[in-house]
Amino acid sequence: MPKILREKEILKRKMFSIKELEIKTKKGNVVFDVVEKKDSVMIVPITDDGKLVLIKEYFAATDDYQIGLPKGRIEDGDVKKATNRELQEEIGYKSKKLTKLATVSVSPGNIRHKTHIFLAQELVESKLEGDEIGKIKVIKVPFANFGRMIGKEITEARMIAALYLAKRFLEK
Amino acid sequence: MPKILREKEILKRKMFSIKELEIKTKKGNVVFDVVEKKDSVMIVPITDDGKLVLIKEYFAATDDYQIGLPKGRIEDGDVKKATNRELQEEIGYKSKKLTKLATVSVSPGNIRHKTHIFLAQELVESKLEGDEIGKIKVIKVPFANFGRMIGKEITEARMIAALYLAKRFLEK
């Protein structure tokens, strides 16, 4: 099995750092870079009447508005706290019934990061101010309709995974 | 709407580069970093007898072996060529029937990267040598069984999205 011989931080930024790894392999040592990013939560919020609560917000990397699920970084290791904070900041609700659906990676070859996916039910109105770059618009659609939005308004892999995992859980 | 005022490359590495963006927002200008990474393909290969072909390979970021789908970078803009190259390098097949399922992002806030997801059917044996760090093991499981592997052997968000999109396409 390949083995990491050493790690060196070559860049440190607010949202992530870059590490250079030297890896021992059968073909000799290779140098490989990875992005290290704080873990995050992503939430599938569903209202009592079966509506999926989505947000439309500005994404810097693509320089446009996209539809997404509420999500955010885990600041102090407290996953449930981060989940209810993001719900309140991004959609104006908190949840009385959070269910962990999965912990996923986004690109395990290059990125050290995990996203914890939650289903949020029993939503009650509660608003906190967030730190988003642009304005967030809240959109509600019947949960049963998400399939037809995939490939059109919905294009993020984690979000697609989260929605199907929520569907599977709710159909059990 | 926020607006990117300038971009500056602050790090260039083999697999990605880092850019610093200055963004104009209503609350004033903010600095934001993004990772830029070449687009890639990810393939759901299914044999004529309904087996999903998976690989187990070494991932540097997590320093362990994980189960994944064949995938790789698009080197010269030719998506279909990249798809059949990765199939031959990673699982020893090429496909006579490739179907595009979706183009997804992995973390649109921080990463400029798209993954094109394909379903590969009508597989015929054909082997090319790859450049992977460690040895790749090929695993075949009934496609119908992937659901019960999620959260256990299968944890990558793009892969979960790809498998559900393939299921949806095949059930149409």
Cα B95 to chain centroid distance, Å, stands at 17
Residues A62 and A26 in one domain: no
Average pLDDT per 10 consecutive residues for chain A, totaling 172 residues: 93 94 91 94 98 93 90 90 94 96 91 96 93 84 95 94 97 90
pLDDT tens per residue across span A65-101: 899 999 999 988 889 899 999 999 999 999 999 999 9
Nearest CA-CA partner of B118 in B36, B46, B51: B46
Give strand pairing partners of A156.
B105
pLDDT tens per residue across span B61-81: 888 889 999 999 998 888 989
Q: CA separation (Å) from A150 to A48, A161, A164, B141?
A: 23, 11, 11, 26
User: CA end-to-end span of chain A, whole Å?
Assistant: 39
Measured between alpha carbons, how far is B164 from B172 in angstroms, rounded to an integer?
Answer: 12
Cβ distance B33 to A18 less than 8 Å, yes or no, reads no
Q: What is the mean pLDDT of chain B?
A: 93
pLDDT score of B26 more than 90: no
Q: Residue for token digits 């290969």?
A: B45
Measured between alpha carbons, how far is A112 from A169 in angstroms, rounded to an integer?
Answer: 27
Contacts of B106 (CB under 8 A, 6+ apart): A106, A107, A156, A157, A158, B113, B115, B157, B158
pLDDT at res. B111? 92
Residues A24 and A74 in one domain: no
pLDDT tens per residue across span B83-108: 999 999 999 999 999 999 999 999 88
Residues B166 and B91 in one domain: yes
Cβ distance B110 to A61 less than 8 Å, yes or no, reads yes
Cβ distance B25 to A134 less than 8 Å, yes or no, reads yes
pLDDT at res. A116? 97
pLDDT at res. A135? 79
Residues B22 and B64 in one domain: no
Give me the phi and psi of A140, to 5 degrees please.
-115, 130
Residue of chain B whose alpha carbon sits nearest to that of A40: B107
Full domain range(s) for residue B11: 3-36
Establish how many alpha carbons lie within 13 A of residue B26's alpha carbon, considering only the half-sphere containing its beta carbon.
8
The one-letter amino acid at A125? E
> What CATH code is carried by the domain that includes residue A151?
3.90.79.10
pLDDT score of B127 more than 80: yes
A105 touches chain B (CB under 8 A): yes
Measured between alpha carbons, how far is A61 from B19 in angstroms, rounded to an integer?
Answer: 10
B108 CA: distance to closest CA in chain A (Å): 6
Which residues in chain A have their CB less than 8 angstroms from residue B115's CB?
157
Helix, strand, coil percent content, chain B, rounded in steps of 5: 20, 50, 30
pLDDT at res. B146? 96
Residue of chain A whose alpha carbon sits nearest to that of B67: A108
Residues A63 and A141 in one domain: yes
B122 CA: distance to closest CA in chain A (Å): 24
Quote the number of domains for chain A: 2
Which residues in chain B have their CB less than 8 angstroms from residue A5's CB?
none
**CB–CB of A46/A133 below 8 Å?**
no
A28 touches chain B (CB under 8 A): no
B105 touches chain A (CB under 8 A): yes
A142 touches chain B (CB under 8 A): no
Residues B21 and B45 in one domain: no
Residues B49 and B67 in one domain: yes
Which residues in chain B have their CB less than 8 angstroms from residue A100's CB?
none
Residues A56 and A136 in one domain: yes
Which residues in chain A have their CB less than 8 angstroms from residue B162's CB?
157
